[in-house]
Amino acid sequence: MNKRMVWMLVGCLVVFGGVFGVKWFGGKMMNQFFDSMPVPPATISSAKVEQQNWRNGLTGVGSVVASQGTQVTTESAGIVAQVHFESGAEVAKGDLLVTLSAGSERADLQRLQSQAQLAESEFGRLKRLHDLDAISKSELDRAESDLQATRAAASAQRERLAQKVIRAPFAGRLGIREINVGQYLNAGTPIVSLQALDPVYIDFSLPEQHIGAVQAGQAVSVSVDAFQGREFTGVVSAIESQIDSSTRNFKVRANFANPDRALRPGLFARANISTGDEKQVLVVPLTSVSYNPYGNSVYVIQPSDENKEVLVVRRRFIKTGEARGDLVSVIDGLKAGEEVATSGLLKLQNDSVVIINNSVMPDASLNPTPSDS
């Protein structure tokens, strides 16, 4: 029995050992097969490192501001009797916009004017009597005081009556009407917006280190998304006297002629101030740069050491400078004419074999123009 048990154990060990051995050998051979399998080339797009002339300047972002702008409101409460304007109309200073009902106020003015006339007649009679020494000086003074009080009351009523007529405080373009005839308005109720659109201001911010480079009278060029490809020119008119302690930026205001009313208050604007001559820079597309905390890098395309007809990529760390549009300047790490990968960076590593296909490639423009689609 003991021998039989031993032989059974030996047989089991041989069988299971053989099974595990075959499994291990198969796994090893499969790993060797996959390890030795050639990696298929990665398809990428590419661009050459170019040398361009960039004009020295400062760039900032901001908004269009009307030279004068307000929300027209009413000083006095009342019911809208007439609306004298259309939404979006151009108006001159003093143009009539809205008339509020003022029947009771007009009647009160007539009553006060009558009282003022009566007080004036009474004062005239008493003055003549005083000249004849028929009355005392105090009676004449009392009559004069009554005259001044009635005149002041009538003048105050005329001012209240004038508040029932709302006029344009300055020339400009109206917005959308917010009231209707018959509507009761409280004092301060918005009626319509009014914006003076020629000229306009553009307020934008710059970092504090550039405050010495900006002066009133410098030329400013501006682009807005609403008018692709169009550039507006103006001049610096004012510089904020203090630095924003939370952002370390300072505000600049530029004045722009706007005869066609293209620039509207609130538009997002990109401003550029020219500060000097042109400089030569090496540029690559923004899409070619991998930005990392430990340094920025690109994949440079080169022939393989083993086969010059095969292209491979090698990672190279670079020092980047200013970015403009779809391009970024390279301060160190690249030479003009070298070729870099511009797409498919996530599937690349050192010595990856690549195939270049530039039939579809990312835009790389100094002044990009997004499509409407």
Predicted confidence band of residue 10 (pLDDT cuts 50, 70, 90): confident
Lowest pLDDT segment from 94-98, 224-228, 233-237: 224-228
> Does the pLDDT at position 208 exceed 50?
yes
> Does the pLDDT at position 349 exceed 60?
yes
Predicted confidence band of residue 372 (pLDDT cuts 50, 70, 90): very low
Tell me what pLDDT residue 160 has. Answer: 76
- The pLDDT tens digits of the residues spanning 141-165 come to 787 788 788 888 877 777 777 778 8
* 352-356 and 42-44 beta bridge pairing: parallel
In this prediction, what percent of the chain has a pLDDT beyond 90? 16
* 96-100 and 165-167 beta bridge pairing: antiparallel
Tell me what pLDDT residue 363 has. Answer: 62
Predicted confidence band of residue 11 (pLDDT cuts 50, 70, 90): confident
Predicted confidence band of residue 364 (pLDDT cuts 50, 70, 90): low
- The pLDDT tens digits of the residues spanning 259-276 come to 888 888 989 988 888 776
351: phi > 0 → left, psi -120 to 50 → alpha, else beta; which?
A: left
**DSSP annotation of 336:** T
Instruction: Check if the beta carbon of residue 70 is closer than 8 Å to that of residue 190.
Output: no
Tell me what pLDDT residue 14 has. Answer: 76
Mean pLDDT on 352-360: 84
Mean pLDDT on 274-282: 79
Of 204, 205, 263, 256, nearest to 234 by C-alpha is 256
CA–CA separation, 65 vs 253, rounded Å? 9
- The pLDDT tens digits of the residues spanning 174-207 come to 999 988 888 888 888 898 999 988 889 999 998 8
Residues 6 or more apart in contact with residue 47 via CB below 8 angstroms:
284, 285, 288, 339, 340, 342, 361, 364
- The pLDDT tens digits of the residues spanning 64-122 come to 999 888 889 888 888 888 888 888 888 999 899 988 887 776 777 677 778 778 777 87
Tell me which of 156 and 240 has the higher pLDDT: 240
Lowest pLDDT segment from 27-31, 44-48, 133-137, 154-158: 27-31
Instruction: Check if the beta carbon of residue 48 is closer than 8 Å to that of residue 330.
Output: no
- Cα of first residue to Cα of last residue in the chain, in angstroms, is 87
Indicate the helix (H) or strand (E) that contains 193. Answer: strand 190-207
Mean pLDDT, the chain, integer? 83
Lowest pLDDT segment from 13-27, 50-64, 226-240: 13-27
Helix (H, G, I), strand (E, B) or coil at 233: strand
CA–CA separation, 188 vs 132, rounded Å? 55
Predicted confidence band of residue 373 (pLDDT cuts 50, 70, 90): very low
* Structure token digits, residue 336: 């003009």
Facing residues of 130 across strands? Answer: none
| Domains by residue range for the chain, with CATH | 42-54+279-356 (2.40.420.20), 58-67+193-278 (2.40.30.170), 76-98+168-188 (no CATH), 102-163 (1.10.287)
Tell me what pLDDT residue 39 has. Answer: 65
Burial class of residue 232 (count of CB atoms within 10 Å of its CB; 0-12, 13-18, 19+):
buried
> Does the pLDDT at position 225 exceed 80?
yes
